[in-house]
Amino acid sequence: MNLKLVKPNENLEKEHLDFLEEWQDEEITPMSANIFDMDYKSWLDYTYRIEKEATCPNHLVPAHTFFLVLDSKKIIGAINIRHRLNDYLFNYGGHIGYGIRPSERKKGYASKMLALALPIAKEIGIEKLLVTCDKDNIASRKTILKNGGILENEVRDKDEIVQRYWIGL
């Protein structure tokens, strides 16, 4: 089994659309993997603009999105690595958002994807990484703990309790 993180590219359009279709009524996670009402090329351009401070829209922070790809083809999941935190991300969202397609959950892919993302976050210049999850998301909590997350606290975000974990890089 060959798993690796790959930046979105034109060759992955069909696989990305298959990945998105599988979510059905669920919110696509991370949100950066959702193409919304854009065509694929426009979404790619937008995704690459967000990577750089100079071209990142003001309402966002610079971030890289990667797909977890199996055997150089099938997209298993997606992960978004944010270069820095704004107030909302510091309190609720963290440096990283990730999600595994519904048919591939409970196979250890999220833990592997987060482990592959940590060296990239370090290269970006993050020394201490914040990862959050809803308190009732047991699978995500296990993923974070498996990757060295240390619970700092819990905070309320609307109707949810969010757990805030730090991982030293």
Boundaries of domain holding 91: 3-168
Helix intervals (H) in the chain: 13-22, 40-50, 87-88, 109-124, 138-146
Whether residue 69 is predicted with pLDDT greater than 90 in this model: the reply is yes
Q: Could you report the per-residue pLDDT of 24-41, keeping only the tens digit for each?
A: 889 999 999 999 999 999
Region 120-127: mean pLDDT is 97
| pTM value surpassing 0.85 | yes
**Domains in the chain, number:** 1
Region 140-150: mean pLDDT is 98
* CATH number of residue 68's parent domain: 3.40.630.30
Region 80-92: mean pLDDT is 96
Region 114-134: mean pLDDT is 97
In sequence order, what are the residues at sequence separation of 6 or more whose Cβ sits closer than 8 angstroms to the Cβ of residue 147?
Answer: 111, 114, 115, 118, 131, 167
Whether residue 9 is predicted with pLDDT greater than 90 in this model: the reply is yes
